[in-house]
Structure 1
Amino acid sequence: MTVEGELLWTPRPEFAEASNVARFQRWLRRERGLDLPDYDALWRWSVNEIEAFWGAVWDYFDVQSSTPYHAVLSERRMRGAKWFEGSQLNYAEHLLRHEAEAPERIALHHLSELRPLARMSVAELGGQVRRLATALRELGIGPGDRVVSYLPNIAETAVAMMATMAVGAVWSSAAPEFGVQTVVDRFAQIEPKLLFAADGYRFGGKDFSRTAEVRRIAEALPSLQTVVWLPYLDAGAAAPVAQARSWASLLDRPAVAREAFRYERVPYDHPLWVLFSSGTTGLPKAIVHSHVGALLEHLKLTHFHFGLGPDSAMFFYSTTGWVMWNLVLSSLLTGGAAVLYDGSPAHPQPDLLWKLAADTGTTFFGASPTFIQMMEKAGLRPGERFDLSKLDAIMVGGSPSTPETFAWLYDCVKRDLWVTSQSGGTEIASGFVGASPTLPVYAGEIQRRMLGMDVHAWSDDGEELVDEVGELVVTRPFPSAPLYFWNDTDGRRYQEAYFDVFHGPDGEDVWRHGDFIKINARGGCYIYGRSDSTLNRYGVRIGTAEIYRAVEQIEGIADSLIVCCEQSGGRFYMPLFVRLKDGAVLDETMIRAINARLRQDCSPRHVPDEILVVPQIPYTLTGKKMEVPVRKLLMGWPLEKAASRDAMMNPAAIEPFVALAGRLAAAR
């Protein structure tokens, strides 16, 4: 049996020496006179000399800007940091910059349950982006305008995103399995001018029409001026709104030469996209990143921590509603290819994604621990069935990994394999802790803190912890921190989300991410799930407020509370607790109604594992639902450490949860 921390793999010397990390170290020695002999020395320099590090990243990757920057970082502060002030650049231009040198190189492999595997060269991709961007300009879309998408994970969505960025507009995306209210809660905040929408999608062999949903979404967004309609599920599907423009009509125009096209190079603080990460109260957080922040972070991430290059192909199973979709497309920054798939990961066969990896020559494969567990239960051994000779690395992400997950990959996929577990978030569009191809792999362990990320484990008192579980904090600024939250005019919501708990010795901001982390003496990291009440189920964060909004519309429900508990083997237990109105009964009819409402208004991932009746929902004296204490109880914490009765509005309300925690502990 594999145990936590067991050595599983050591990189071959030639593999480590050929890595982008090693190349960067040699460049620093040659160009900067810095002798940083190993990854740990490189990391220490990157967080102690953050201006020098990020300036080196800019130079090493030859970032293209119309104007020089005044300073790498105007001052060392977390909120309001100005990175590369004075620069003007475009993220999409860098995604497609390799077109000139290798126009026939594959940029996209794309497969869905509706379409066979196809490929698109970087010249074809660039050509479609330029034609669509030109059409967007003709429609009046320009810098700062918001463009939103309700499209599946297909090539058209990638083209739409890049074209939006190319003209300086601001991109945001929701997956088509999201219900109407979930989409409107997101998009209404940013008042989009144009919506890309498809008529539906296929999952697990079943078709899901979204025509009616698109109509309702459009009606709920008064700022919309244009809907671009993509009949994907049914080629003959009519647009549900008047005066919609068809996708085909926008692309039906003469080619636009690369030399003749003008990317909108925007200032350092211009918004690139709005990503949504749900909080526990109110609407989902509308997180804004900049072109320059995302570009610098993704150049670092894809090259140094994913190990990608011109001969790479990156896949991660994702939907368009998750930041991992954006990160898959960021692989184009390296000159490599992105691999897209839309549909069930196990239909029609459970090993479908491994076949896709073989057919596309995937070098970097990503999936959740839950997916790996599903493979193990099915008794699959992909390495024996498919040619995975090009596969160098597997990233297990989205939730904490286990030693058993690592062991299965080495036993059933490939012995010589760089298995990485990485952890970050939508908030930063990247990772805090991750991998280096120059280091060994230990079971269940994330190899190191990422370059430029000054990550630590802190106690509740703000003391540094080693070999103990604490709060994940970041003590120095980094470029991909959010510019701001949309409509958060006074910055209060941003402040409360990350900076209200910890402060440095001089009162400076310290980022508290909301994850439990352990960093051992050699620098290896372990993530132990959420320390706050945001739900993280199968790698997708879900705001409790979204669930309450839907559930409490059900007739007979007076109040509710939901938590998500990580379990061994990548599993989750997400119970929903409800307080019923007088005379109401939680019968099968009500359970079906609750689940249907969550599936329709939110997504299938919002459906709980169990629904339980409690006499009262516990609240604090300040009127907040006690989600964090309940979650801690159910994960085995004693009551005296999970909650203070003196801080409860009604101390008796916690008793049913204490009793449930006891039953769960006895059943383990």
Structure 2
Amino acid sequence: MFPRPDFFEGALLNVAENLLFPGNAEVAASATAVITVTEAEGQRVSTTWAELREAVRGCSAALRAAGLGPGDVVAGFVSNHVQALVAMLSAAALGAVWTGISPDTGVSAVLDRLVQIEPKALFADNGTLYNGKSWSSTGKTSQIVDELKPKGLALVIVVNNVQDVALGLDELHSKGVAAKEYESFLQSGGNALLRFEQLPPSHPLYVLYSSGTTGLPKAIVHTALGTLIQHKKEHILHCSMGPASRMLYYTTTSWMMWHWSISALACGTTLILYSGSPFQPHGHLSLPKLLSALRVTHFGTSAAYLTALETNGVYPARSLDLSPLQAIYSTASPLPPSTFSFVYEAFPPHVNLASITGGTDIISLFGAPCPLLPVHAGEIQCAGLGMAIAVVDPASGAPVPPGADGELVCTRPFPCQPLTFWGREGAARYRASYFERFAGVWHHGDFARVGARTGGLTMLGRSDGVLKPAGVRFGSAEIYNLLTRFFAGEVDDAVCVGRRRDADRDEVVCLFVAMAGDKPFSPSLRDRIREVIRRELSPRHVPGVIEECGAGIPKTSNGKKIEVAVKRILSGIDVKTNTSVANPEALVWFREWAATHS
């Protein structure tokens, strides 16, 4: 598995050509390819296949005229809209490498990523609309350009995403870069024909980034063929998507799921690209109303969104026509068992509810949906086709029997293995990240279990954050599931980690909760949490520390809990956090707490 095999060596392809001209399905040029939607009612823009192809023709021709070609990096500081899709497809058409970052990301976090890979062109929104308010991003773009111009940035294309916000072109010009408005840039390529560079299967397509919670984010390079064939397998075979399908995945351009979702074009599916708050303008019914109005067949979201509906008692199918909906996909964290039951009450009972797992590392899925298999609460239905996953003993690496907990690994090569990490030491860092823990197999860093009866996969949390009091291993997800099930009205969020300092004889499980609304934390609540965990799991699962977290739960910019950094802080290890942490003040709180509870 390392060095990475060169799958389909000798073939030639272009990903943009495959997405714009889906080979397995006839789509009329006048049919709708993309619908761009924001939280503002009435802001819906439909784009036909012909219009999408024409936009990519103009944009790719303009990029070529600006001197870009195969291997150059094109970056996007853009929201989830059709212009972002056109920019990505145009980069791919000429063999450039695309990397996308959402404009709600802080400048330092953007630079932590882009300085590493030195883009030559940058697409940037002038602003964003979120939670009913317009936010300018031209100031951020200006700061980003200051740092990237000495690294080779020569061209900035500004998307007029928010009408009442300035474009900032004059300021960008003053910095010595060519700056153009998006629509005029598309016209600058002249009448050149739509042309796709034919490239080797291992040609770089995307750069995605690890969370980078304790160091600079790792820039992960994904290949053209590996990404395309993996996504087509998942969309067509695992998801039953085709030309009659419509998919809305609530995501940002930073997230791996954006890259996954836009590949659905390759099977003729219509994309609904949404940006904005999921709770505007109709509260918890905002997205369900959109699903109904646009007759969405496949809806993707996060576990946190579905548990929010559960906590607030929102049952969309009771008031909306959601009959076209065939599948709901949940990722980012394990979906609690109680939420499985809730979804089948709140949405049409014929949907394929699929908690899925994979990640940025593989730009796809290890644990996948399947419309042919039953859904078991708390479990992922099956392994992805062709993905030789297994659960092994954390110490020996030997396979464990079904029903036992262990480390998730993949034992055979797969096409979407990353090519490398970007940079001079990229290959060495790549090998260290996935292949040094267990000889010859991919170590994914998740704690998991395969059901003895069902064969389904249960995700138990990150394995480097595995809890092990008195030698009993379990994942934080087991604690989170109980909090969602029994305390949803009182506890808004939580982080559960193990603490082991030099003087400790054993690991101490520490649970920190963030309270919902104005609900108070009290000794009574602490006792009730302990009792529920003791009753539902075991006495060994009961945390030794249960406290209120005074500054919120630390998370990455993608909304994932930062368990490992909290664990290290509580264990007395110095952690240097960077701008991938969305709320660094929360980690400061944990440092202060650890200092006063030593």
Q: Which TM bucket (shorter chain)? A: 0.7 to 0.9
Report the counterpart of residue 147 of structure 1 in structure 2: 74
Of 21, 25, 33 in structure 2, the residue corresponding to residue 107 of structure 1 is 33
Cα distance in 2 between the residues matched to 1:236 and 1:177:
17
2:127–2:165 CA contact under 8 A, matched in 1: no
CA drift at 1:305: 1.5
Secondary structure at 1:396 match in 2: strand
Higher mean displacement: 99-108 or 473-482: 99-108
Of 341, 352, 357 in structure 2, the residue corresponding to residue 407 of structure 1 is 341
Report the counterpart of residue 541 of structure 2 in structure 1: none
Cα distance in 2 between the residues matched to 1:625 and 1:355:
43
Report the counterpart of residue 586 of structure 2 in structure 1: none
Report the counterpart of residue 225 of structure 1 in structure 2: 154
Report the counterpart of residue 172 of structure 2 in structure 1: 241
Cα distance in 2 between the residues matched to 1:113 and 1:392:
23
1:618–1:654 CA contact under 8 A, matched in 2: no
Taking a change above 3 Å as real, the CA distance of residues 238 and 511 of structure 1, as seen in their structure-2 partners, is same
- Asked if 1:618 is matched to 2:542, the reply is no
2:80–2:253 CA contact under 8 A, matched in 1: yes
CA drift at 1:148: 0.2
- Asked if 1:493 is matched to 2:429, the reply is yes
**Structure 2 counterparts to residues 247-326 of structure 1, below 5 A:** 247-252=182-187, 260-326=193-259
Report the counterpart of residue 524 of structure 1 in structure 2: 456
CA drift at 1:219: 0.5
1:150–1:173 CA contact under 8 A, matched in 2: yes
What letter matches 1:231 in structure 2? N
Taking a change above 3 Å as real, the CA distance of residues 625 and 165 of structure 1, as seen in their structure-2 partners, is closer
CA drift at 1:456: 0.6
- Asked if 1:96 is matched to 2:20, the reply is yes
Secondary structure at 1:249 match in 2: helix
Report the counterpart of residue 473 of structure 2 in structure 1: none
CA drift at 1:249: 0.9
CA drift at 1:231: 2.6
- Asked if 1:484 is matched to 2:420, the reply is yes
Report the counterpart of residue 522 of structure 2 in structure 1: none
Cα distance in 1 between the residues matched to 2:231 and 2:248:
16
Report the counterpart of residue 291 of structure 2 in structure 1: 357
CA drift at 1:110: 1.4
What letter matches 2:134 in structure 1? D
**Structure 2 counterparts to residues 382-401 of structure 1, below 5 A:** 382-401=316-335
Report the counterpart of residue 31 of structure 1 in structure 2: none
Taking a change above 3 Å as real, the CA distance of residues 254 and 477 of structure 1, as seen in their structure-2 partners, is closer
CA drift at 1:90: 0.6
Taking a change above 3 Å as real, the CA distance of residues 367 and 624 of structure 1, as seen in their structure-2 partners, is closer
Taking a change above 3 Å as real, the CA distance of residues 121 and 566 of structure 1, as seen in their structure-2 partners, is farther
Taking a change above 3 Å as real, the CA distance of residues 199 and 655 of structure 1, as seen in their structure-2 partners, is closer
- Asked if 1:83 is matched to 2:7, the reply is yes
Cα deviation digits, residues 22-69 of structure 1 (max 9, x gap): xxxxxxxxxxxxxxxxxxxxxxxxxxxxxxxxxxxxxxxxxxxxxxxx
**Structure 2 counterparts to residues 317-336 of structure 1, below 5 A:** 317-336=250-269
Cα distance in 2 between the residues matched to 1:515 and 1:105:
42
Report the counterpart of residue 345 of structure 1 in structure 2: 278
Taking a change above 3 Å as real, the CA distance of residues 472 and 149 of structure 1, as seen in their structure-2 partners, is same
Cα distance in 1 between the residues matched to 2:558 and 2:426:
35
Of 67, 91, 113 in structure 2, the residue corresponding to residue 164 of structure 1 is 91
2:332–2:560 CA contact under 8 A, matched in 1: no
1:106–1:336 CA contact under 8 A, matched in 2: no
What letter matches 2:494 in structure 1? Y
Report the counterpart of residue 429 of structure 1 in structure 2: 363
Cα distance in 2 between the residues matched to 1:253 and 1:172:
23
Cα distance in 2 between the residues matched to 1:128 and 1:515:
41
Report the counterpart of residue 315 of structure 2 in structure 1: 381
- Asked if 1:468 is matched to 2:381, the reply is no
Secondary structure at 1:351 match in 2: helix
Cα distance in 2 between the residues matched to 1:178 and 1:235:
18
Secondary structure at 1:357 match in 2: helix
Secondary structure at 1:266 match in 2: coil
2:61–2:189 CA contact under 8 A, matched in 1: no
CA drift at 1:329: 0.5
Cα deviation digits, residues 110-141 of structure 1 (max 9, x gap): 11135612211111111111111111111111
Taking a change above 3 Å as real, the CA distance of residues 491 and 128 of structure 1, as seen in their structure-2 partners, is same
Secondary structure at 1:329 match in 2: helix
2:59–2:189 CA contact under 8 A, matched in 1: no
Cα distance in 2 between the residues matched to 1:604 and 1:481:
22
2:62–2:185 CA contact under 8 A, matched in 1: yes
Secondary structure at 2:356 match in 1: strand
Report the counterpart of residue 46 of structure 2 in structure 1: 119
Cα distance in 2 between the residues matched to 1:470 and 1:450:
19
What letter matches 2:399 in structure 1? E
Report the counterpart of residue 567 of structure 1 in structure 2: 480
The number of aligned residues is 500
CA drift at 1:250: 1.3
CA drift at 1:616: 8.0
**Structure 2 counterparts to residues 119-138 of structure 1, below 5 A:** 119-138=46-65
Question: Which has the higher relative contact order, 1 or 2, with Cα contacts under 8 A spaced 6 or more apart?
Answer: 1
2:2–2:435 CA contact under 8 A, matched in 1: no
Cα deviation digits, residues 536-590 of structure 1 (max 9, x gap): xxxxxxxxxxxxxxxxxxxxxxxxxxx999712397424999xxxxxxxxxxxxx
1:105–1:122 CA contact under 8 A, matched in 2: yes
CA drift at 1:617: 5.7
CA drift at 1:296: 1.0
What letter matches 1:531 in structure 2? S
Report the counterpart of residue 179 of structure 1 in structure 2: 106
CA drift at 1:455: 0.5
The alignment-based identity, stated in percent, is: 37
Secondary structure at 2:390 match in 1: strand
What letter matches 2:100 in structure 1? S
Taking a change above 3 Å as real, the CA distance of residues 615 and 300 of structure 1, as seen in their structure-2 partners, is closer
Report the counterpart of residue 384 of structure 2 in structure 1: 450
4+ residue runs over 4 A deviation: 253-257, 563-566, 574-577, 602-609, 614-617, 623-626, 653-660
Cα distance in 2 between the residues matched to 1:303 and 1:333:
9
Report the counterpart of residue 530 of structure 2 in structure 1: none
CA drift at 1:404: 1.3
CA drift at 1:88: 1.1
Q: List alignment gaps of at least 5 residues for structure 2.
A: 467-475, 486-491, 499-549, 578-590
Q: List alignment gaps of at least 5 residues for structure 1.
A: 1-76, 504-508, 535-562, 578-593, 627-652, 661-668
Cα distance in 2 between the residues matched to 1:365 and 1:142:
35
Secondary structure at 2:221 match in 1: strand
Cα distance in 1 between the residues matched to 2:443 and 2:202:
23
Cα distance in 1 between the residues matched to 2:412 and 2:27:
37
Secondary structure at 1:251 match in 2: helix
Secondary structure at 2:308 match in 1: helix
Secondary structure at 1:142 match in 2: coil
Cα distance in 2 between the residues matched to 1:407 and 1:180:
41
Report the counterpart of residue 666 of structure 1 in structure 2: none
